[in-house]
Amino acid sequence: MIRLAVSADQPEIYSLICALEETSFPQEMFAWGFYTMLSSASHLLLVAEEEGQIIGLLHLRMEFQLHHCGTVAEIMELIVSREVRSKGIGAALLKAAREQAIQHHCIQFEVTSNQKRKQAHRFYQREGLEQTHIKLTEALL
């Protein structure tokens, strides 16, 4: 089942995000960001749930961008628990996110994915997204 995240989901989502990034984030800062996003119209947190357990998350940010002169939906995070990958859960989350983007009148749907995540790139391309940009970054802290 795909649904919107609620406050009680924070501990399970924290675990998923830490697994995605292969690190442990400060829990208080993570919780602050999570609850801020839950109350924001620009962010949607979709979860995949099975037997009362969260097994996937998709964070969708929607914002007006001047260079598109419209609202763009960007997948900020997408993770499925390692134990249940390759069972269509990621595709179901992606489909639900697309539907939300359309309902919110977004004109584009996009994702940025770390170069090391080759399997994720293949997944997104299978799901109809194409590589059109190169992202450049600089760590500040």
DSSP track, 24-81: ---HHHHHHHHHHHHT-TTEEEEEEEETTEEEEEEEEEEEEETTTTEEEEEEEEEEE-
pLDDT in tens, 96-133: 999 999 999 999 999 887 778 888 888 778 888 888 88
Model pTM score = 0.88
How much is the pLDDT for 121?
82
Contact at 8 Å (CB) between 113 and 132?
no
The pLDDT of 23-48, averaged and rounded, is 96
Element (H, E) at 119: helix 118-126
Is the predicted pLDDT of residue 8 greater than 80, yes or no? yes
Q: Which residues contact 96 (CB under 8 A, 6 or more apart)?
A: 2, 46, 58
User: Phi then psi for 137, rounded to 5 degrees?
Assistant: -135, 165
The tokens for 29 are 């800062």
pLDDT at site 86: 87
Question: Does 43 have pLDDT greater than 80?
Answer: yes
pLDDT in tens, 54-96: 999 999 999 999 999 999 999 999 999 988 988 999 999 999 9
